[in-house]
Amino acid sequence: MELTVGAILEGKVKSITNFGAFISLPENKTGMVHISEVANSYVSDIRQHLTEGQDVKVMVISTENGKINLSIKRLEPKPQRENGQRPNNFRQGSAPRREGGAPIQNQSQPQNRAPRTPTPPPAPKTADQLFEEKLKAFMTESDSKIASIKQYSDRSRGRRR
């Protein structure tokens, strides 16, 4: 059976690591579900979502170099967003949130923020500035290579500094 991208398969969780879970597939094949492909929400501990021996439904998302990459979350319905807003589990900052996702404002300290004005793009660099940057990068790389060659040649002669 040739596995194609988009194919939906039944498998069994074979083993769990910190970065994902290995899934036994039909015909003695094994694929991996990366931790980012387990659920639509943030997953800090994959063991809270999967256990070894659990039967799971997975989707093949790629087959590269003999490796089969799988996803569980792509088979789940995506969380609904209200008015194009981010889902409630998305945290941009550390401010406490209300049930609807709106930040709770601290009433004792009013926020006096000036509206942001766009910063102008930096002035284009002159030819001399570009040349100086390239020359500096070349000299730094060259010095690094010379130092490693000296170090290697000193070691090969049996001397150490």
Mean pLDDT for 18-40 is 92
- Number of domains observed in the structure of the chain: 2
In a domain, 129, yes or no: yes
In a domain, 86, yes or no: no
Taking phi over 0 as left and psi of -120 to 50 as alpha, with beta for the rest, 28 belongs to left
Q: Specify the CATH number for the domain of residue 31.
A: 2.40.50.140
Domain span holding position 141: 125-161
In a domain, 113, yes or no: no
Q: What is the pLDDT of residues 101-112, one digit of tens each?
A: 555 555 555 556
In a domain, 45, yes or no: yes
Mean pLDDT for 28-44 is 91
In a domain, 108, yes or no: no
Of the three residues 33, 53, 75, the one that is the final residue of a domain is 75
What is the pTM (predicted TM-score) of this model? Answer: 0.50
Of the three residues 56, 75, 94, the one that is the final residue of a domain is 75
Of the three residues 52, 75, 98, the one that is the final residue of a domain is 75
In a domain, 114, yes or no: no
Determine the pLDDT at residue 32: 94
In a domain, 55, yes or no: yes
Lowest mean per-residue pLDDT among 1-10, 14-23, 40-49, 149-158: 149-158
Q: Pairing state of beta strands 67-71 and 29-34? A: parallel
In a domain, 154, yes or no: yes
Determine the pLDDT at residue 146: 85
